Amino acid sequence: MSHIRALSASALLGLLPAVFTPAQAHPLAYPDTGVAGDHFQTALNVSHGCDGSPTVAITLKVPPSVILIKPQWKAGWALTIKKGKLETPRAGLHGKSITERVEEITWRGGPLPNEAYDTFGLQLVLPDTPGETLWLPIIQECQKGAHRWLDIPGPGQAWRGMHAPPPFVKIVPKAP
């Protein structure tokens, strides 16, 4: 029996390189799959600093297709929300019109050591575009340097091959 356990443990250890690929070093959204048009909660997972330097700010460039989004407040981090006017107002809740949207969210504080990770939560309404990918470009500022996670792949291009891909959410169709 202990021989089987040893084989199982060695098989699991053999899988570690496949599970912890270099893409894991990129910021990720978790969960990364949501239903088109639904309210959705996710978190940006930041797993390292900039060449060993602690993270002091995360700025999300909110995609234009996202009209409603709310960041999670974090102790030890200041929150800045930049808004812009919508060209065409949209219908909102309780008969109100939506006339502006969040364009950028910045968490500034920490610092988040290179040896640790943290998550930056978001609530949003996903675009009603099943089959598409919602890219969440971020800029990660550190005490020394920065990472610009802005490389959105073009048609037919894999995100894993990109130098600095942003986190993303795959949008799936509503259940029938």
Which pLDDT does position 28 carry in this prediction? 93
Asked whether residue 6 is domain-assigned, the answer is no
pLDDT at position 84 over 60: yes
CB count, 10 Å around CB of 71?
Answer: 22
pTM score over 0.75:
yes
Number of neighbours of residue 168 by Cβ within 10 angstroms: 19
What band does 15 get if pLDDT is binned at 50, 70 and 90? very low
Number of domains in the chain: 1
164 lies in some domain? yes
Is residue 24 pLDDT above 80, yes or no? no
9 in a structural domain: no
Instruction: Give a yes or no: residue 17 inside a domain.
Output: no
For residue 160, tell me if it sits in a domain: yes
* pLDDT tens by residue, 109-160: 999 999 999 999 999 999 999 999 999 999 999 999 999 999 998 888 888 8
Question: The domain containing residue 37 runs over which residues?
Answer: 22-172
Q: What is the dihedral of CA 10, 16, 18, 24, to 10 degrees?
A: 180
Q: Domain containing 109 — which CATH number? A: 2.60.40.2230
Q: Which helix (H) or strand (E) holds 112?
A: strand 97-112
Residue 36 lies in a domain: yes
Contacts of 53 (CB under 8 A, 6+ apart): 114, 142, 143, 144, 145
What pLDDT is recorded for position 22?
36
